[in-house]
């Protein structure tokens, strides 16, 4: 298996894990904490894999925040 194909498979699995965590979360704060916990678990097992997945999660999180509607509380 070549490196690029493997990298894409890991990215796809990270995206699926992110979407699953997002469905389980009630808000972005909770999602961020769940992603952090997930990545910490990976870092203990494989530092490089954990850092790669963390980068994938960060990109997905930023993308989600860009698309989120910002609501302002009225006084």
Domain ranges in the chain? 25-63
Q: Is the pLDDT of residue 74 over 60?
A: no
| pLDDT band of 67, cuts 50, 70, 90 | confident
Q: Is the pLDDT of residue 2 over 80?
A: yes
Q: How many Cβ atoms from other residues are within 10 Å of residue 38's Cβ?
A: 19
Q: How far is CA 63 from CA 4, 29, 42, 58, 59, in A?
A: 23, 15, 22, 8, 6
Q: How many Cβ atoms from other residues are within 10 Å of residue 31's Cβ?
A: 20
pLDDT per position as a tens digit, 5-38: 988 999 999 999 999 999 999 998 999 999 999 9
């Amino acid at each position: 298996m070549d490196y690029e194909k493997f990298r894409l498979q890991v990215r796809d699995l990270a995206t699926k894990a992110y979407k699953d965590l997002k469905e389980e979360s009630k808000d972005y704060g909770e999602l961020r904490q769940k992603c952090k916990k997930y990545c910490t678990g990976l870092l203990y097992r494989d530092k490089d894999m954990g850092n790669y997945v963390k980068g994938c999660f960060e990109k997905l999180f930023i993308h989600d925040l860009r698309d989120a509607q910002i609501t302002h509380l009225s006084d």
